[in-house]
């Protein structure tokens, strides 16, 4: 790994850094990498020096830089929503699922989206996923049946004739 200060000329931009000249390969032909911090989650990733300028030009939806130097001042996003796996102790229904015999999830932190939770459960907790799909299918069938019964009851209900409004004299 190459530190930013060692191999590059660094100049300040609006809220990040820019690199002017970087070597891209070592004498043995392997690419040189340097670490950059992803602003969205704070994680540090090795990036080939040939891609550093491209990464530093990337922006988030709010206009902030997507990548910064690992030692640059960093404040994590304030309103990061975390969705726990249903089998994690933080989930409200965890005890119910544990009573049904499902082992707790060993993952340490939650997910940033519901889709990520769904994918995790589908891939890591296959039996739980299958059982939840069967339960959802059963609930959908019950909802459809109830709607059909309500529709039939409404159709069988006698209609009352409309009263004509009498004009005021």
Q: How far apart are CA 107 and CA 123, in angstroms?
A: 13
- Read off the pLDDT of each residue in 37-43 and give the average, rounded to a whole number: 82
Q: How far apart are CA 9 and CA 18, in angstroms?
A: 8
Looking at residue 147, its pLDDT comes to 87
Coil, strand or helix: which one is 19? strand
Looking at residue 139, its pLDDT comes to 92
Listed in sequence order, the residues at least 6 apart from 132 whose beta carbon sits closer than 8 Å to its beta carbon are 86, 121
Looking at residue 11, its pLDDT comes to 44
Looking at residue 23, its pLDDT comes to 55
pLDDT, mean over the chain: 78
Q: pLDDT tens digits for 64-99?
A: 888 888 888 887 766 556 888 999 888 888 898 889
Predicted structure pTM score: 0.42
Looking at residue 164, its pLDDT comes to 67
- HSE at residue 76, side-chain half, CA atoms within 13 A, is 8
């Amino acid at each position: 790994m190459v530190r930013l200060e060692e191999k590059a000329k660094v100049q300040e931009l609006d809220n990040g850094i820019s690199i002017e000249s970087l070597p891209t390969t070592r004498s043995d032909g392997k690419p040189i990498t340097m670490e950059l911090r992803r602003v969205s989650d704070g994680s540090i990733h090795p990036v080939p020096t040939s891609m550093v300028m491209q990464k530093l030009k990337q922006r988030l939806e709010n206009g902030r830089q997507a990548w910064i130097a690992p030692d640059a001042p960093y404040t994590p996003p304030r309103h990061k929503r975390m969705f726990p796996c249903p089998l994690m102790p933080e989930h409200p229904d965890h005890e119910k699922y544990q009573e049904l015999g499902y082992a707790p999830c060993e993952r340490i932190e939650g997910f940033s989206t519901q889709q990520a939770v769904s994918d995790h459960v589908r891939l890591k907790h296959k039996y739980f996923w299958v059982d939840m799909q069967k339960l959802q299918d059963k609930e959908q069938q019950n909802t459809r049946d109830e709607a059909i019964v309500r529709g039939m009851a409404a159709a069988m209900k006698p209609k009352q004739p409309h009263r004509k409004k009498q004009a005021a004299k």
